[in-house]
Amino acid sequence: MAANLSRELVEGALGNCVSIVDPLRNHRWDRFVQQHPYGWITHLSGWKRVLDKNFPHMTGYYLVLKDPAGGIRAALPVYAVESWLMGRRLVSIPFATLCDPLVTDTADMELLSGAVLRLAGVLGISRVEIRTAAASHLLNRDLFRADCVNKHHFLPLCENPELVRERFHRSCVRQRIARAERAELRLIRGKRESDLREFYLLHCVTRKRRGLPPHPYLLVKTLWQTFALQGVVELLLCRRGRETVAGLLLFKYKNRVSIEYSAVNALHNDSSPVHFLFWNAIREACLAGYRVLDFGKTSEHNKSLMEFKSHWGAEVIDLPHFLYPNTPLPPSPGGDQSIAKKLLQFVCTKAPDTALSYLGEFCYRHLG
C-alpha cells in the first residue's frame, strides 16, 4: 500500500533533481503557493490536512524542484488513491476544481511529470491523472491523453459591481435579482457550527434532487474549521423569515473568490434566493478588490448548468484532465450518462434522507 511505502525509497527512485516535501512540516510550502501565479487554496498545507483527516485511502506526495538556495521553484502534488471499487490511481489533487501543477516552465513540467510516472511505477499504480487549467499548455500530449469534458466558468470583476451587473442576462438574472430584493430576503454570515449544520442539511436535499451523493459532513466541517478563521472559507446563508432557504460556501484566496458548494430549498425558488446569494457574493467580491469569481466545474453534458452560469456573463474555458497511459477510451453507448452514473442517480434520488449521509460517505471513500 502507498501509505506504508518508505518515502526515502520513493525519493531516491524519482531522480536526483526531484524531492518530496511534506507541506505540513515544510515552512516554505505555503509561502511558495502564495507567490506562485497558479497557487490556490487546494495547494495549501491546510488542504492536505483536510484530506489526511477525512480520507485514509489517500496518501499525498508533493514533488518539488528546488533552486540552488534550497527554495522551491516548481511543484506537482499528487495523491495515491486506493479503492477496490474504482481502482488504484495517482491524482492531482483530489476534490479540487482548480489544482494546476505549480509550474510555469515546460522543462520543469517534463521533469515533474516524468517523476510522477516513476512514482507510479514504484507504487505499482498504472493510472495517472493530472488536472489543469492555466498550465494545460505545459503537458506533453503525446505522453498524456487530454480529456476536456469539464469546463470552468469564471467572471472577471472590477471595483464597480454595477458594471459587472450590466453583463448579466436581463430576464434570467437581473430580473430575478430584482425579484429577490423585493422578497425581503436576508443575508446571514455563518459563524457557528449550527449555521454550518443548516447549510449541510440543505446541501443534502439539493444533492439528492440532482441525483448526486452529498459530500460527507466531516469533510465540510474540517474545511470550515481549517480555513474559516483565516478568512479563506466563508459561509453565506439566505433567510426568509426565520427559515434558511439557501446557502453558499465560498473559497477566497489571493485575487479569486470561488463558489464551491451551493444549496437551496426548491420550495422557495419563487423568491430567487440563489440569485440573491450569487449577486451578494459578486458585489462584495468587487468591493473587496477581488478580480475573479469562479463558478466551479461543470460537465459539458450538463447543458442546463452550463447555460445558467453563462447567463451571469461568465467566460468559459476547458479544464483538461491529462490521463496516463495515453490510450483512447472505448466509446460509451450512453455518453456521459453511463449505466453506472444513471444507477447512482437513481439510488441518490430514491434513498431515504436518513441514508443519504451514509451513501455520501461510501461514495467519497472511493472518489478522488
**CA distance linking residue 238 with residue 247, whole number of Å:** 6
What CATH number does the domain located at 152-318 have?
3.40.630.30
Question: What is the percent of the chain where pLDDT is above 70?
Answer: 93
Q: Are the C-beta atoms of residues 39 and 96 closer than 8 Å to each other?
A: no
**CA distance linking residue 222 with residue 157, whole number of Å:** 30
Fold annotation for 2-140: Aminopeptidase (3.40.630)
- Do the first three CATH levels of 2-140 and 152-318 match, i.e. the same topology? yes
β-bridge pairing 315-318 and 292-299? unpaired
Distance of CA 346 to the CA centre of its chain: 24
Residues 6+ apart with CB under 8 A from 163: none
pLDDT in tens, 126-151: 999 999 999 999 999 999 999 999 99
Residues 6+ apart with CB under 8 A from 355: none
Domain boundaries defined on the chain? 2-140, 152-318
**CA distance linking residue 220 with residue 260, whole number of Å:** 11
Predicted local distance difference test score (pLDDT) of residue 331: 53
- pLDDT at 309 > cutoff 90: yes
DSSP 109: H
Distance of CA 145 to the CA centre of its chain: 21
Position 335 confidence tier, pLDDT thresholds 50, 70, 90: very low
- pLDDT at 124 > cutoff 90: yes
Taking residues 154-161, report their average pLDDT: 97
The model carries a pTM of 0.92
- pLDDT at 333 > cutoff 60: no
Predicted local distance difference test score (pLDDT) of residue 336: 45
* Coil/strand/helix, residue 64: strand
- pLDDT at 328 > cutoff 90: no
Residues 6+ apart with CB under 8 A from 56: 3
**CA distance linking residue 365 with residue 368, whole number of Å:** 8
Q: Are the C-beta atoms of residues 102 and 39 closer than 8 Å to each other?
A: yes
Taking residues 76-88, report their average pLDDT: 90
